[in-house]
Amino acid sequence: MDARNHEADLDAVIVGAGFAGMYMLHRLRGLGFTARVLEAGSGVGGTWYWNRYPGARCDVESVQYSYQFSSDLQQEWDWTERYAAQPELLRYADHVADRFDLKRDIDFNTRVKSAAFDEAAGRWVIETANGKRLSARFCIMATGCLSSPNLPDFKGLESFKGDRYHTGYWPKEGVDFTGKRVAVIGTGSSAVQSIPIMAAQAAHLTVFQRTANYAVPAHNKALEADYIARVKAEYPTMRARARTTMTGIDFDYSDRAALETSAEDRTREYERRWNHGGLWFLGAFKDLMVSDEANATCADFVRAKIHSRVRDPEIARLLSPTNTIGCKRLCVDIGYYETFNRGNVTLIDVSERPIDAITPEGVRAHGREHKVDAIVFATGFDAMTGALNKIDIRGRGGLALREKWSAGPRAYLGVAMAGFPNLYTITGPGSPSVLTNMLPTIEQHVEWIADSMTYMRDRQLGRIEPVAAAEEEWVGHVGEAASRTLRYTCSSWYLGVNIPGKPRVFMPYIGGFPKYIAKCNDVAAGGYEGFALA
């Protein structure tokens, strides 16, 4: 038996060794808490450990998609590209783990099966799939927002004789599609990133598209030494500026309204942002996510761009989304639309009639079989709640989290749940999380959680748990904020609509990073208002 099974004095068990779990461990250690991280993968990196599909890269610029808790770390690391690719992001995660000597407190290849609160002892008991049992005063879920891959239940799925891949669970050794006929199902961000690369390699690529997606060009590039030096000199001010924006990204969000701007001016602004590249595009006008009419001006601009990039007008039409731009997460592309000009790429629209079945030899759609050697499922994730619901989490009185969340997630500030004392979720549902830059949003949660644990230690308190009424009020506020935006209107994973049977609830908090930080700070300053401490 593992010696660590006997560690009865652990302050915290942290589930997950992605960016959230790694920093949580480092922070707790620094404050003198004992903590152990349990990680299903064989290495650190979370999202960037699992999502090794070709073309995987961040869609927030690398210099911002990075930790800021250590100025030394920030100064010593040099990003090579505007948007770092997965291997570089994984190297960064690994560097952080080594630099702060984190691995000695991480159990790899260890999947958590259950976590139950022992009321008498006031401790969490965590059991893993490989038979470990740990107990700790606090259990901190750093399980990620997009970490439970969604493989739809296609008819005939198991009959397929070729190779099967999911973008969120890509083989470590990589995949060589040279000479292969490949099908891709899905056209979200993972598909948009991987399709151009797979198309360049495969003999033929057939893309099955249910919903066309908006993508703006990345204009990715190598970062020059003088740019990096400038960023490093300005890091503190850049990070401070970022904290004042809705998304926690240092962006120039316009305070002009599209509908109060002339058509020529509007187009000029869209063009300027299109040429700059990236998610910044949607910051062009302040009314884009609240007014259909304003949104349409932006959507029209992008649709025209798609038509200018795709030679065949019928394919351009099929690739042109008809829904609200920014409602589903905007994609950032490198040559995506142009890929459909290639002779070896076929687009199959399955928006009106779903894929009939997976067959032993390929994919059947509209009654026709497309024979392939491999199928890539770029079908996304059971977002935000999926990874948590996979674990049998039990709070007071044996209450199951899955049960509590059966009509949609309920959490106070997206960080803790009534009925589950001493359980924290980093970037959980009800927090800004996926609507913000993940790194600063993770850091804010980690620091808030660590502060609350320190507060309790200083006062010799053993338990923290949200009061039901405070949780209720917050859940109401999260829903109300979402309902005021156009993001509420489409079938996105923000709403859980991509998973059959999942309740339609807007999961992240859309009120903006500054407002959320202020609320969290107020709660803490008020002695953890809305929480019961004992």
Residues that bind ligand NA7 (CB under 6 A): 146, 152, 167, 185-191, 208, 210-211, 329, 350, 354-355, 378-381, 493, 498
Quick one: 126 or 182, whose CB is closer to ligand NA7?
Answer: 182
Q: How far is CA 258 from CA 155, 177, 188, 412, in A?
A: 45, 44, 27, 35
Quick one: 117 or 214, whose CB is closer to ligand NA7?
Answer: 214
Q: Shortest gap between Cβ of 366 and ligand NA7 (angstroms)?
A: 13
Quick one: 329 or 370, whose CB is closer to ligand NA7?
Answer: 329
Quick one: 509 or 531, whose CB is closer to ligand NA7?
Answer: 509
Quick one: 152 or 514, whose CB is closer to ligand NA7?
Answer: 152
**Edge-to-edge strand list for the sheet holding 345-349:** 163-166, 374-377, 181-185, 204-209, 345-349
Q: Count CA atoms closer than 13 A to 196's CA, side-chain side.
A: 14
CA 253, 490, 424, 88 dihedral sign is negative
Cα–Cα distance for residue pair 440/249, rounded to 1 Å: 9
Q: Shortest gap between Cβ of 134 and ligand NA7 (angstroms)?
A: 31
Buried b (16+ CB within 10 A) or exposed e, 497-518: ebbeebeebbbbbbbbbeebbe
Give a three-class secondary structure readout of 70-107.
CHHHHHHCCCCECCCEHHHHHHHHHHHHHHCCCHHHEE
Quick one: 88 or 472, whose CB is closer to ligand NA7?
Answer: 88
Of 359, 377, 376, 378, the C-alpha closest to 367 is 359
Q: Shortest gap between Cβ of 376 and ligand NA7 (angstroms)?
A: 11
Type of residue at 78: D
Of 417, 409, 414, the C-alpha closest to 389 is 409
Q: 228 and 234 in contact (C-beta within 8 Å)?
A: no
Q: How far is CA 140 from CA 271, 294, 446, 489, in A?
A: 44, 41, 10, 32
Residue showing the smallest CB distance to ligand NA7 in the complex: 188
Q: Shortest gap between Cβ of 491 and ligand NA7 (angstroms)?
A: 6
Q: Shortest gap between Cβ of 319 and ligand NA7 (angstroms)?
A: 12
Quick one: 140 or 185, whose CB is closer to ligand NA7?
Answer: 185
Cα–Cα distance for residue pair 116/320, rounded to 1 Å: 48
Quick one: 200 or 357, whose CB is closer to ligand NA7?
Answer: 357
Q: What are the helix (H) ranges across 356-400?
A: 386-389
Take residue 338 and report the two structure tokens written for it.
Answer: 């142009």
Contacts of 166 (CB under 8 A, 6+ apart): 149, 151, 376, 377, 378, 379
Q: Shortest gap between Cβ of 466 and ligand NA7 (angstroms)?
A: 28
Q: Shortest gap between Cβ of 381 and ligand NA7 (angstroms)?
A: 6
Q: Are strands 181-185 and 374-377 parallel, antiparallel or unpaired?
A: parallel
Q: Shortest gap between Cβ of 499 and ligand NA7 (angstroms)?
A: 9
Quick one: 156 or 462, whose CB is closer to ligand NA7?
Answer: 156
Quick one: 316 or 376, whose CB is closer to ligand NA7?
Answer: 376
Three-state secondary-structure class, residue 274 = helix
Q: Shortest gap between Cβ of 57 and ligand NA7 (angstroms)?
A: 10
Quick one: 55 or 188, whose CB is closer to ligand NA7?
Answer: 188
Q: What is the dihedral of CA 502, 45, 109, 496, to 10 degrees?
A: 0
Q: Shortest gap between Cβ of 259 and ligand NA7 (angstroms)?
A: 28
Quick one: 356 or 451, whose CB is closer to ligand NA7?
Answer: 356
- Burial label, 400 (beta-carbon count in 10 A; 0-12, 13-18, 19+): middle
Q: Shortest gap between Cβ of 419 and ligand NA7 (angstroms)?
A: 30
Q: Shortest gap between Cβ of 47 and ligand NA7 (angstroms)?
A: 8
**Total number of residues shown for the chain:** 534
